[in-house]
Structure 1
Amino acid sequence: MENATGKRRRSPWRWLLWVPLLFVALSALQVAVLRFVDPPTSAFMLARQGEAWRQGDWGFRVAYDWRDLEDISRYLPMAVIAAEDQNFASHSGFDLKAIEKALDHNARGKRVRGGSTISQQVAKNLFLWQGRSWLRKGLEAWYTLLIELMWPKHRILAVYVNVAEFGDGIYGAQAAARSYWRKDAARLSAAESARLAAVLPSPRRYSASRPGPYVQRRAGWIQRQMRQLGGSEYLEQLD
């Protein structure tokens, strides 16, 4: 359409065409920066802090203290791999076999099990929100692809053990080790690491420091899986 001077009028909605490109660029920049910069917080941490303030709990503070993977007991990354994602070293962000097993398991009415990989959980914890929707799953898949393309496996694992929630408002290995056992993450034992990994599906429901029957059984299973995977030698496969 032309105006009285003969110039073509630009559509006021033209800027919407740039929104997807802007999102792609900004999300890629986010992931690229966090390959080298340790995240000061995460979307889940911010949401938990906001939830506490909305409830009037002004004294609540998220517990979070970054530690490099070299400063965390090797038992813990091994435990979360054994518990959450045993094909972590070989997949490219998505484990279709694990998803199929989870769907079959859940369809039989057993305790609900997820099929998300560690890479997917990093994407969700860092950038997204809790809940279930196609939009969130789509964004999770996008961020997972970016993470797998831009980060080596050891960086993905380092971020995961630092941002995973191990108790209500307790995020990461160091905060969990200090909160539960008054020690640094470097000194976590195999049993303690297995308990932390055991509560990951529901860290506000289960306790790593006061484990009930379910956590005890699961922690025992995780320790057996750690040995079957080859122990800390498994971590040598990571790039």
Structure 2
Amino acid sequence: MKYIVYLLLLPVFALLTFNMYAYGSIIGLRVLAPADTAFMRNRMAQLADSKPEVKLDYRWVDYEHISPHLKKALIASEDAHFAKHQGFDLAGIRAAAERNRQNGEIRAGGSTISQQLAKNLFLNEQRSYWRKAEEAAITAMLESATDKRRIYTLYLNSIEWGYGIYGAEAAAQHFYGIPAARLDRRQAAQLAARVSAPLRYADRPHDARLQRKSAVILKRMDSAALPD
């Protein structure tokens, strides 16, 4: 009986240990740049078999060295209320839940920038309610342990933009041959449009949806509110 109790408690202990690790890492990330993220490691492991020629291109730059156009474009594209919410957009979550109910499976997550960062830093791509719950817990830790500007800096530096391409600096250099600080409005909108499906657009650079989404983002950028 004692061993059964231990077995039942083991997942709880593992979860608590992981959350303690995540929280300790977040405290460090308030001042340190991550060497990589869980998402980068998982993706590069996948590509090792299918595209062994792909190398990791991840270049950290400080917030001040990223174009304000890209900062506004990503908020316009990914999370219009980022500067105001506490990590969760309840209206977006309700809309995503309804779409999932209609589809009969988990497709849409209604994820904010903070939630996307939580997933990128610590989790995998698995779609389940258990993983979404862990994502929510890490998001709450991020929002409580650091400020919006740092969260956004981490996000801007960890986004996947193509095969092996992570962060604003690597993306700007890869697609336009310039530093992230020099991206103009149109370039920023085009980059932001790629974030929802970076590998699809890497394979289909002339996809009509990419062009339509870029145009929509370009129109919305002026109203995007940046974090203080």
Normalised by the shorter chain, which TM-score bucket? Answer: 0.7 to 0.9
Q: For residues 13 and 171 of structure 2, what CA distance do their matches in structure 1 show?
A: 43
Query: TM-score with structure 2 length normalisation?
Result: 0.87
Shift of 1:48: 1.7
Whether 1:115 aligns to 2:110 is yes
Aligned length: 223
Secondary structure of residue in 2 paired with 1:26: helix
- Partner amino acid for 2:84? S
Quick one: structure 1 residues 186 and 23, their matched pair in 2 at CA, closer, same or farther if it must change by over 3 Å? Answer: same
Secondary structure of residue in 1 paired with 2:198: coil
Q: Runs of at least 4 residues of structure 1 off by over 6 A?
A: 9-12, 106-109
Larger relative contact order (CA 8 Å, sep ≥ 6):
2
- Partner amino acid for 2:150? R
Shift of 1:53: 2.2
Cα RMSD of the aligned pairs, angstroms, is 2.8
- Which protein is richer in helix relative to its size? 2
Conservation of the 8 A alpha-carbon contact between 1:92 and 1:148 = yes
Conservation of the 8 A alpha-carbon contact between 2:22 and 2:122 = no
Conservation of the 8 A alpha-carbon contact between 1:181 and 1:209 = no
Query: TM-score with structure 1 length normalisation?
Result: 0.83
Structure showing greater radius of gyration is 1
User: Which residue number corresponds to residue 185 of structure 1?
Assistant: 180
User: Which residue number corresponds to residue 77 of structure 2?
Assistant: 83
User: Which residue number corresponds to residue 176 of structure 1?
Assistant: 171
Q: For residues 170 and 162 of structure 1, what CA distance do their matches in structure 2 show?
A: 10
Quick one: structure 1 residues 29 and 210, their matched pair in 2 at CA, closer, same or farther if it must change by over 3 Å? Answer: same
Picking from 209, 223, 227, the partner of 2:222 is 227
User: Which residue number corresponds to residue 3 of structure 1?
Assistant: none
Identity %: 39
Shift of 1:137: 1.1
Conservation of the 8 A alpha-carbon contact between 1:93 and 1:119 = yes
User: Which residue number corresponds to residue 194 of structure 2?
Assistant: 199
Shift of 1:30: 1.2
Q: For residues 208 and 53 of structure 1, what CA distance do their matches in structure 2 show?
A: 17
User: Which residue number corresponds to residue 149 of structure 2?
Assistant: 154
Conservation of the 8 A alpha-carbon contact between 1:161 and 1:172 = yes
- Partner amino acid for 1:153? K
Q: Deviations over 1:24-63 (max 9, x none)?
A: 3222101111111111101111112211223472x43111
Once structures 1 and 2 are overlaid, which stretch shifts more, 24-33 or 69-78?
24-33
Shift of 1:131: 2.1
User: Which residue number corresponds to residue 5 of structure 1?
Assistant: none
User: Which residue number corresponds to residue 6 of structure 1?
Assistant: none
Unaligned regions of 5+ residues in structure 2, if any? Answer: none
User: Which residue number corresponds to residue 13 of structure 1?
Assistant: 6
